Amino acid sequence: MSIKILLYIAGRAVKGLLVLLVIAVFNFFLIRAAPGDPAQVMAGEAGATDEVFLQQLREQFGLDQPLYYQLWVYINNMLHFDMGITYRQQMPVFDLIMDRMPATLLLTGAAFVLSLLLGVLAGVVAAAKHRKWPDSAITVAALVFYATPLFWLAMMASLLFSVYLDWLPSFGMQTVGEDFAGWDKVRDIGIHLVLPAATLGLFFTAVYARMTRTSMIETSRLDFVKTAKAKGMKPSRVLYRHVLRNALLPVVTLAGLQAGQLIGGAVLTETVFAWPGIGRLMFDALFQRDYNLLLGVFFISSAMVVLFNLITDVIYCVVDPRIEL
């Protein structure tokens, strides 16, 4: 049994690595498909006029060598976490991304937990009050937030809560000029986190709420629920012990698949709130036309999704023994 699980997980890991390899090859050809000299494309707007830097890039990636050799060098570099250097920051791309990673993990993690809790709660309330006003209110709210562009919602939230009400900061991750330590620092980051995490999470809250509601209503029509009711079980107990537990499965499956979308959303939220994560880094790379950095962020965020999917697989195996391997 446990060997079977280990084998399964190993298989998934190999698959994930293969996906990353394909993405690396894709990146390699993408740079060469772009108009212009690859070195200049990689160097970006700022570095493209610096001949020394261009030469450095050509040597590092073997750009004067045949294509297959270049591909080999590129993949080999990637295996050593070497993605080149960004001109502007004069820093290895990989180090720069890793520098920004904790902020993004904090933001997406907070948004994920928040949206799952709120969404499931809203879905349960809507299903429990099916066809009464709370159901309609939640359904309408979910529909609206599902249709609202994330970046716009972020801007409107910062306008309302930061500019007009002045309750929450809307810029950065920590108060500029203050040097907090210990709990003060945690509190400071926490306050800065509220708006970005809430706006990033709101779209997914809507998704989970709709899904939980539908799933609950469908599950509550199944035979085992009727049996439980017929036995004279208290309705609230039927709802939580029987319906919710079974209705949650598709929601959790969906949540596991949403990692990629969260990362994409983080690009927008981090841009609006100047949150110092990899999404903001991606925007800066766009702005400076620093394609080496851009592709680096793309690759690492894909790697994050692969890793996250792997973790979900492991959790599944542990939580639900019924899952077929």
Partner 1 sequence: MNIIKTLSQNKVAMVGFAVLVMLILVAVLGPYVYEGTPWKMVQRPFIPPFENSSYLLGTDILGRDVLAGLIYGTRISLLVSFVSTVIALLIGIPLGAYAGYFGGWVDEVLMRFTEIFQTVPSFALAIVLVAIFEPSVYSITGAIALVSWPPVARLVRGEFLRLRNQEYVLAAKLNGQSNRNIILKEILPNSLSPIIVLASLMVATAILLESSLAFLGLGDPEIMSWGYMIGSSRTVIRQAWWLSFIPGVAIAVTVLALNLLGEGLNDALNPKLSGKRES
Name the site residues for partner 1 (rule: CB under 8 A).
16, 19, 22-23, 30-31, 33-35, 41, 130, 143-144, 146-152, 155-156, 158-159, 163, 214, 217-218, 221, 257, 259-261, 263-265, 267-268, 271-272, 282-283, 286-287, 289, 291, 294-295, 297-298, 301-302, 305-306, 309
Enter the tokens of residue 11: 């298989």
CA 196 to chain centre: 13
Specify the residue, 198 or 262, whose C-beta has the smaller distance to partner 1.
Answer: 262
Q: Whose structure tokens read 């203050």? A: 178
Specify the residue, 192 or 284, whose C-beta has the smaller distance to partner 1.
Answer: 284
Specify the residue, 70 or 302, whose C-beta has the smaller distance to partner 1.
Answer: 302
Shortest Å, Cβ 306 to partner 1: 6
* Size of the chain in residues: 325
Partnered with residue 86 across adjacent β-strands are: 91
Specify the residue, 153 or 198, whose C-beta has the smaller distance to partner 1.
Answer: 153
Shortest Å, Cβ 298 to partner 1: 5
Alpha-carbon distance 171 to 158, whole Å? Answer: 9
Shortest Å, Cβ 16 to partner 1: 8
Helices (H), 129-258: 133-147, 150-158, 182-219, 223-230, 235-237, 245-257
Enter the tokens of residue 310: 């792997």
Alpha-carbon distance 67 to 64, whole Å? Answer: 9
Specify the residue, 92 or 264, whose C-beta has the smaller distance to partner 1.
Answer: 264
Shortest Å, Cβ 183 to partner 1: 32
Shortest Å, Cβ 2 to partner 1: 26
Shortest Å, Cβ 260 to partner 1: 4
Strands (E), the chain: 85-86, 91-92
Partnered with residue 251 across adjacent β-strands are: none
Specify the residue, 23 or 57, whose C-beta has the smaller distance to partner 1.
Answer: 23
Alpha-carbon distance 223 to 234, whole Å? Answer: 16
